[in-house]
Amino acid sequence: AEEHLRESEKLTTAGRLAAGIAHELRNPLSVVEGFLQIATEENQAFSKHRELMLTELRRMNLMTTEFLVLAKPKDIEMGPVHLGKLFKEVLSLYKRPLAEQGIELVLNLDDDIPYSFGDETQIKQFFINVIRNGAEAMEGNPFADRGTITVAFEYSKEDIKVIIRDEGVGFPPYIIKKLGQPFVTTKENGTGLGLMIMKKIIDTHKGKLTVYNHPEKGAVVQATFPVIKSRDQVKKAEKCLSR
Ligand code: ADP
Ligand code: MG
């Protein structure tokens, strides 16, 4: 038992350390990536090495971003969240960079969707992971018509469903079977952590994650979040709203 305790203590420390490192790495990585990007654009005859560095940096960046949510389960702060509002924030960050890649991001939002109960950072991370995968799945499409990522919300008294569709290659069937397992990737520079983290986030929110391919084209990711319910939750929501 003692051994067991020590083992779990070790894990907590390791987890904290990992989270710390991920935090520390994130900013400098982004800065270096940004500068390299500019250098590459300005220098017509860009060097192969720079491309390589960029690729590796992007990969590190991606891993640390994906790691953040994984490594810090204790930092989850559940509160009232408006999924539409959260998605709009993500949209404002990604709409332009995606447009530059020939990808359109369309949000079909009914402003009346009810509040849900969850962790903003995690839910944003969820949206970002879905969008990133969708964009990557459309990389093979011709630039002039790379495709659209469509986001829609449906809701009932019980839950809010977010439906995100892309027009990419679609999920390989074995990926759907392995949903939730880490390090499952078909990409040369993939981490295979995105879907697992998405699943974890939805599990934390007591929702349901479903992935499937659209009968016409592309992948669909569907997640349900509970509608805010208990008196406590509503009270908290009112407090937040009146602030
Ligand atoms: P990564 O993106 O690093 O490969 P993920 O866990 O995010 O890891 O995704 C795992 C795999 O699932 C991808 O490599 C890809 O094969 C498949 N996948 C994920 N999202 C999509 C999508 N929108 N369309 C098609 N395939 C997808
Ligand atoms: Mg991914």
Tell me the β-bridge partners of 221: 164, 211
Distance, in Å, from the CA atom of 207 to the CA atom of 221, rounded to the nearest integer, reads: 13
Which stretch of DSSP H or E encloses residue 107?
Answer: strand 103-108
Q: How far is the CA of 167 from the centre of ligand 2 (A)?
A: 16
Report yes or no: 36 and 56 within 8 Å, Cβ to Cβ: no
Q: How far is the CA of 149 from the centre of ligand 2 (A)?
A: 15
Q: What was the pLDDT predicted at 53?
A: 73
Q: For 200-243, how does the pLDDT look when each residue is reduced to its tens digit (9 = 90+)?
A: 889 989 999 999 999 999 999 999 999 987 666 666 666 665 55
Of residues 54 and 195, more confidently modeled: 195
Atom nearest to 196 CA in ligand 1:
6
146 pLDDT more than 70 = yes
Ligand 1 binding pocket (C-beta < 6 A) is: 133-134, 137, 166, 168-172, 175, 184-187, 190-196, 219
**149-154 average pLDDT score:** 96
Give, using CA atoms, the residue closest to atom 24 of ligand 1: 170
**133-141 average pLDDT score:** 96
Looking up tokens 């520079």 gives 189
Q: What was the pLDDT predicted at 116?
A: 93
Report yes or no: 228 and 117 within 8 Å, Cβ to Cβ: yes
Give, using CA atoms, the residue closest to atom 21 of ligand 1: 133
Q: Where residue 178 falls among pLDDT bands split at 50, 70, 90?
A: very high
**42-68 average pLDDT score:** 69
Q: How far is the CA of 221 from the centre of ligand 2 (A)?
A: 13
Highest mean pLDDT among 67-76, 84-93, 102-111, 147-156: 147-156
126 pLDDT more than 70 = yes
Ligand nearest to the CA of 193: 1
Query: 142 — alpha (psi -120 to 50), left (phi > 0) or beta?
Result: beta
Q: How far is the CA of 145 from the centre of ligand 1 (A)?
A: 21
Q: What was the pLDDT predicted at 134?
A: 97
Q: What was the pLDDT predicted at 180?
A: 87
Please provide the average confidence, as pLDDT, over all residues in the chain: 82
Q: What was the pLDDT predicted at 50?
A: 76
What tokens appear for 93 in the block? 């960050």
**148-163 average pLDDT score:** 95
- Based on the number of CB atoms within 10 Å of its own CB, is 76 exposed (0-12), middle (13-18) or buried (19 or more)? middle
Of residues 12 and 78, more confidently modeled: 78
Q: How far is the CA of 126 from the centre of ligand 1 (A)?
A: 13
59 pLDDT more than 80 = no
What tokens appear for 178 in the block? 């392995």
**167-194 average pLDDT score:** 89
Give, using CA atoms, the residue closest to atom 18 of ligand 1: 171
Highest mean pLDDT among 38-52, 72-86, 158-172, 191-205: 158-172
Around ion ligand 2, residues with a beta carbon closer than 5 Å are 133, 194
Atom nearest to 221 CA in ligand 1:
23
Which of 65-69, 165-169, 200-204 is predicted least confidently? 65-69
**73-78 average pLDDT score:** 71
68 pLDDT more than 80 = no
112 pLDDT more than 90 = no
